[in-house]
Structure 1
Amino acid sequence: MILENTIELDLSDVSKELSFLLFILRDDSQDEMIIQQHTEDLDWKLFMRLVLHHRVYPLVYLKLKGLSTSLIPANVMESLHLQYHNNTMKMLHLSREMSHICEAFTSSGIRNLLLKGPILATQLYGDLAHRTSKDLDILVDADDVEKAEKILVQLGYKLEDEHTLGNWKKKSHHLSFEHIENCTQVEIHWRLNPHFSKSFSFDQLWERKHDVILSNQTFHYLGNEDLLYYLADHGARHGWFRLRWLIDIERLLPRINSENMKIYFDQYGGQQYVGQAFILLSLLFSTKIPHDLECLTISSKSHRLAGKALYYIKRIVKLNPVPEKSVAWHYNRYLFSLMSGKQKLAYLLNKFHPSSRDALLLPLPKSLHFLYFPLRPFLWLCRYLKRESVLKG
């Protein structure tokens, strides 16, 4: 097999607790003798930290709940059961909010595609309770963003981001909202990723969409190839610091048409991110990659990116929304390595363009907005010093 000859990434420093977590997630037999070997002298507090960090407690609970009580400490199982129950309640709540928002959008003529959340749980895991979700991610046409914002405000949501200047849609790819009363978080996207490159239009994504009927309501989500592209791109940008994102890819793999995916890559690119995900899946979960797509795993760039992502997987680090200070420099270099030459150039040029955060820090009348260009370095420095002061304080 190609992967066995090409993947030589170092797993020698993976902790015993992470090794056990990986074993649970990839092995369905749950042989109690093997589990006993894994759990000898295990740091159960660290194990639970890893389970929570990687957001995989529903799957871990389901895998371990049938085992002998002598293998897993009672307090660990109690904690896992509590997390499983709380997640079920949260996913039911997110589903209700998803229903209200999508109904309001559709009634107002706003086409919408669900990116992750409860839809991903039901379609890839078969059960709402088997996957965790922090928020709702909804993609709309760029021309409908303002209309979607007004509807969310009417539904009780508050905008968390600033979009004072007229270039905010170019500077970002989503807006964040939070419900005033129930604290539900929603992100409205108008692009699948923040990369500064030409990509497919919303109309193209809409034509390839999948539909699902839940509780007599029709929801729309990305087609399989678009979903693989999006999940791989999203996971790559976040350094795969949560194992949950890799499991999403593994669950999606049986639905992928290899020939369609090859055509897709020829048109839109993204091979290196999918290749990175495949390498990590093969290495960490022994996932069998479709034969026709194994060629993606021999890309030198995918291999380098997989090695860099392991740095974050082996540690308990948070990279989103702001990377921890201890890994910030490493992570920023990693993000830059993800980009193509054109994307790097566009990214650097974009840094010279003012943002709404500049206008928030130094409000100017519209007639003087041109001053934000020469003032941008000073405003950036001011924000940086202010942020450092808060961290030290």
Structure 2
Amino acid sequence: YGNPALKCSIDIDLLIDADQLLAAATILRTNGYRLVAPAKSSDGDLKRWHRGWKESVWRSDETAMQLDLHTRTADNDRLIPNINVRSPRQDVLVGGRITLPTLADGELFAYLTVHGASSAWFRLKWAADFGGFLSGKSGEALEHLYRRSQALGAGRAPGMALLLADRLFETLDRNPDLRGELRRDPEIVRLYRTSLHLLLAGPDEPTASRLGTLPIHMLQLGLLPGPGYMLSEIWRQTRRLFDRPPV
């Protein structure tokens, strides 16, 4: 974005090793952050929360800054299982003054597609961010990113995201062969159509109605092929309903 004022963000995502969770929590508390989700929880509650959720939410009362502390990059650990704090990284310039580390492009692409799929891309700003990330990349680079994401275990999420970006921004005009390949996969097309429907459904977000998020939960069942993943995802979603600390 160049100027950070052009991008309004709620939080900062910070990825750590899972075994450093309690140490990181101590550092955050020492620096004035309090735990928002799960709220008023012991260390044991926090560890249990992170078994079902990839992040906990912390907020500074002094600055109002929100920080999401991640111990993995996907809610289901079968997705992108090897993207972690030891993955290849790059430094990015933020606002022309601050340099911060993030994932290298291949890993970042895979992560962004899985992250978007976790909410079925129902907000246009997420798709716009993704389209911006891809805007300067050649057709050959898009091909490389997609193949790399498959090696990293991102499943159908990258194909769905690319078709959505193509619909909104004509991203795959630079690689029509890849567009054709993705369009021939019926499961990828089904996921893409679900996400497009949620994106275009209207001003009310899926979270605003009681069963509005049901299509998102159903979509998540198909992000990887095979019954093993589907069963693990059903178990994960069920466990999150019943095994959570107080919020």
TM-score computed with the length of structure 2 as normaliser: 0.79
For residue 177 of structure 1, give the secondary structure of its aligned residue in structure 2: strand
| Displacement of 1:178 | 1.2
> By how many angstroms is 1:305 displaced?
0.9
Q: Deviations over 1:64-84 (max 9, x none)?
A: xxxxxxxxxxxxxxxxxxxxx
**Deviating more after overlay: 296-305 vs 323-332:** 323-332
Indicate whether 1:316 and 2:206 are aligned: no
State how 1:214-293 maps to structure 2 within 5 Å.
218-253=99-134, 254-255=136-137, 257-258=141-142, 260-291=144-175, 293=178
Q: Distance in 1 between matches of 2:93 and 2:159?
A: 32
Structure 1 distance, partners of 2:178, 2:32, is 45
**Contact 1:209/1:221 (8 A) holds in 2:** yes
Contact kept? 1:159, 1:177, Cα under 8 Å = yes
Please, which of 149, 154, 159 is the counterpart of residue 35 of structure 2?
159
Where structure 1 has 5 or more consecutive residues not aligned to the other structure, the ranges are 1-124, 362-393
User: Is 1:197 aligned to residue 78 of structure 2?
Assistant: yes
Matched-pair contact (CA < 8 Å) for 1:145–1:190? yes
Distance 2:173 2:71 in 1: 31
- Give the structure, 1 or 2, with the largest relative contact order (CA under 8 Å, sep 6 or more): 2
**The one of 116, 136, 149 aligned to 2:12:** 136
Q: Cα distance 1:132–1:303, how it changes in 2: closer, same or farther (>3 A)?
A: same
Match runs of 1:50-65 below 5 Å? none
| Aligned partners of 2:221 and 2:230 also within 8 Å | yes
Residue 150 of structure 1 corresponds to which residue in structure 2?
Answer: 26
1:221 Cα deviation after fit = 0.8
1:355 maps onto 2:236 in alignment: no
- Between structures 1 and 2, the one with greater helix share: 1
Amino acid at match of 2:168: L
Partner Cα separation in structure 1 for residue 63 and residue 85 of structure 2:
33
Give the counterpart of 2:192 among 302, 306, 317.
306
Q: Is contact 1:241–1:317 with CA below 8 Å preserved after alignment?
A: no
- State yes or no: 1:187 paired with 2:74: no
Q: Which runs of 5+ in 2 are unaligned?
A: none
- Tell me the TM-score normalised to structure 1 length: 0.52
Please state how far the C-alpha of 1:217 moved relative to its aligned partner: 5.1
Give 1:265's aligned amino acid. S
Moved more, 242-251 or 285-294: 285-294
Identity of aligned residues (%): 23
Offset of residue 168 of structure 1: 3.4
8 Å Cα contact 1:196-1:343 kept in structure 2: no
Counterparts of 2:146 and 2:198, CA distance in 1:
29
Aligned equivalent of 1:170? 51
Q: Note if contact 2:14-2:70 (Cα within 8 Å) is conserved in structure 1.
A: yes
CA root-mean-square deviation: 2.8
Residue deviations 1:261-313 (CA, integer Å, cap 9, x gap): 25423422325222112212222333344426433343221211111112211
Q: Distance in 2 between matches of 1:152 and 1:227?
A: 25
1:346 corresponding residue in structure 2: 232
Q: Using the alignment, how far apart are the partners of 1:328 and 1:278 within structure 2?
A: 22
Aligned equivalents of 1:344, 1:194: Cα separation in 2? 13
CA distance in 2: counterparts of 1:228 and 1:241, whole angstroms: 18
Give the number of equivalent residue pairs.
231
Give distance in 2, aligned partners of 1:242 and 1:220: 26
